[in-house]
Each structure stands twice: as structure tokens, then as C-alpha cells.
């Protein structure tokens, strides 16, 4: 383990950056679930998202890094903080598991065992996929279209875009419909009923 770290630090400086961002990710993620005040948790989550965007950037997935900052650290966190402020959350006691040490230990054993299973499954169970396929060279993409030859795209954003609109057109359209339905559902769920409005005139909610 230590030799691997030394070997990689010598060969590439991006490994140091990965160590930094990974540490920040883990610390802030722990802070999310162990802070008593929900607003502090939300701020920690923003840092987690930014650190993950950094890791995506190191790995070369620049489009995903940009989307991470825009969608997660921007849109979703604004929504979460808005709801937190609207509900005026107070700090709470952590959990009833704190009062039962045996339950806490069992839960920790479950979570750690779960982690090691996940880790071994991920590192050993993935089949090798070596065949030259679409987007094999990550900075280039070629998609055969009958009659017109091939479509070529270059650059990370271009490759992801080409893959989205050529390989995954149907899922993309379905995502659009899903988002529309989700927005309508959110409006209907959060809307007051007509009779309720009269009763709760001075209430904010």
C-alpha cells in the first residue's frame, strides 16, 4: 500500500491532488451525517460536491466535473437549503442508536462489512472489456450511420454529447419526460389545498 503511494507520487503529481480531494471528500461527508445542525450538514455537502468535482477533473472527465458543480453544488443544494430555511430546523440529538451501544456496534459492523464486500466486488468482479468499441479513444468518438459514413467528435464535451444524442437518444427523451413529470408532481405536492388556505392565513406554510 505505502509502496504504491510512493511509486505513484513520483510518477504523477495528480495522485497528490487525488489524495487531497479524497481526504476532503471523506471528512466533509462524515461531517454531513454527524453534524447536529442541518444547515452545517448542507454546507459540508457543498464541499463534498466540490471535492468530487475536483476528482472528476483530475481524471479528465471535465464535462462531468462542470455538471457536478452546476447541478449538485448549485441547483440541488439551493433547493435543500431553501427547504431547510423554510422548515426552520433546529439542532437535534443524533440518534436513538447512541443510547444503545450494542446496536451501534452491530450497525457499524454491518456498514463496514458492507463496505468491504462492495470494495472486493468492484475490484474483482468487473469483466475485462478490451474490444475496440464506440468512444474507445476517449478524446474521439465515431458513430457509424448508414449511408453517410461516420460521425466524428473530438474533445470531452463533444464526445459525451455525441454519445448522448447518438447512442442514448431514447433514454435522453425519457429523462426529459421524467423531469417534466417530476416538476408537475412537485408543484402539486407542495401546493396548498383551497380549503387549507383560509385556515392557515398567517402561517407561512
Are the beta carbons of 28 and 47 closer than 8 angstroms? Answer: yes
Could you say whether residue 92 binds other proteins (CB under 8 A)? yes
Per CB under 8 A, 168 contacts other proteins = yes
According to the binding rule CB under 8 A, does residue 133 interact with other proteins? yes
The rounded distance, in Å, linking the Cα atoms of 181 and 203 is 29
- Tell which one of 109, 171, 173, 197 touches other proteins (CB under 8 A): 171
Q: Using CB under 8 A, which of 32, 47, 69, 142 touches other proteins? A: 32
Q: How far is the CB of 148 from other proteins (least distance, A)?
A: 21
Shorter beta-carbon distance to other proteins: residue 125 or 149: 125
> Distance between terminal CA atoms of the chain?
54
Are 160 and 135 spatial neighbours (Cβ–Cβ below 8 Å)?
no
User: Would you count residue 183 as binding other proteins (CB under 8 A)?
Assistant: yes
User: Is residue 80 involved in binding other proteins (CB under 8 A)?
Assistant: yes
Count of alpha carbons within 13 angstroms of residue 75, beta-carbon side: 5
Check residue 178 for interaction with other proteins (CB under 8 A): yes
* 73 contacts other proteins (rule: CB under 8 A): no
**Is there binding between residue 2 and other proteins (CB under 8 A)?**
no
Minimum CB distance to other proteins smaller for 147 or for 187: 187
Among 100, 154, 164, 197, binds other proteins (CB under 8 A): 164
Instruction: Provide the sign of the torsion angle of the four alpha carbons 191, 194, 195, 200, taken in this order.
Output: positive
CB of 40 vs other proteins, minimal distance in Å: 11
Strand-pair partners of 153? 141
Which three cell numbers, joined as nine digits, stand for 195? 380549503
Whether 4 contacts 41, CB under 8 Å: no
Cβ atoms of 151 and 134 closer than 8 Å: no
Give the number of residues in contact with other proteins, rule: CB under 8 A.
89
**Residue 50 in the binding site for other proteins (CB under 8 A):** no
152: contact with other proteins by CB under 8 A: no
Per the structure block, which three cell numbers stand in for 114?
A: 458492507
Amino acid at each position: 500500500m505505502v509502496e504504491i503511494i510512493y511509486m505513484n507520487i513520483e510518477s504523477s503529481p495528480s495522485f497528490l491532488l487525488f489524495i487531497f480531494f479524497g481526504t476532503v471528500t471523506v471528512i466533509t461527508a462524515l461531517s454531513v451525517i454527524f453534524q447536529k445542525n442541518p444547515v452545517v450538514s448542507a454546507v459540508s455537502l457543498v464541499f463534498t460536491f466540490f471535492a468530487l468535482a475536483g476528482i472528476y477533473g483530475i481524471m479528465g472527465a471535465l464535462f462531468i466535473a462542470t455538471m457536478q458543480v452546476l447541478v449538485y453544488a448549485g441547483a440541488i443544494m439551493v433547493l435543500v437549503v431553501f427547504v431547510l430555511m423554510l422548515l426552520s430546523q433546529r439542532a437535534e440529538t443524533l440518534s436513538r442508536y447512541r443510547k444503545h451501544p450494542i446496536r451501534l456496534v452491530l450497525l457499524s459492523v454491518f456498514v463496514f462489512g458492507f463496505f468491504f464486500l462492495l470494495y472486493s466486488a468492484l475490484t474483482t468482479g468487473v469483466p475485462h472489456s478490451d474490444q475496440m468499441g464506440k468512444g474507445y479513444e476517449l478524446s474521439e468518438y465515431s458513430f457509424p450511420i448508414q449511408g453517410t459514413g461516420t460521425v466524428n467528435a473530438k474533445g470531452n464535451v463533444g464526445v459525451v454529447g455525441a454519445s448522448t444524442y447518438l447512442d442514448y437518444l431514447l433514454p435522453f427523451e425519457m429523462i426529459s419526460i421524467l423531469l417534466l413529470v417530476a416538476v408537475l408532481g412537485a408543484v402539486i405536492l407542495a401546493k396548498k389545498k383551497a380549503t387549507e388556505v383560509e385556515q392557515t392565513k398567517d402561517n407561512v406554510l
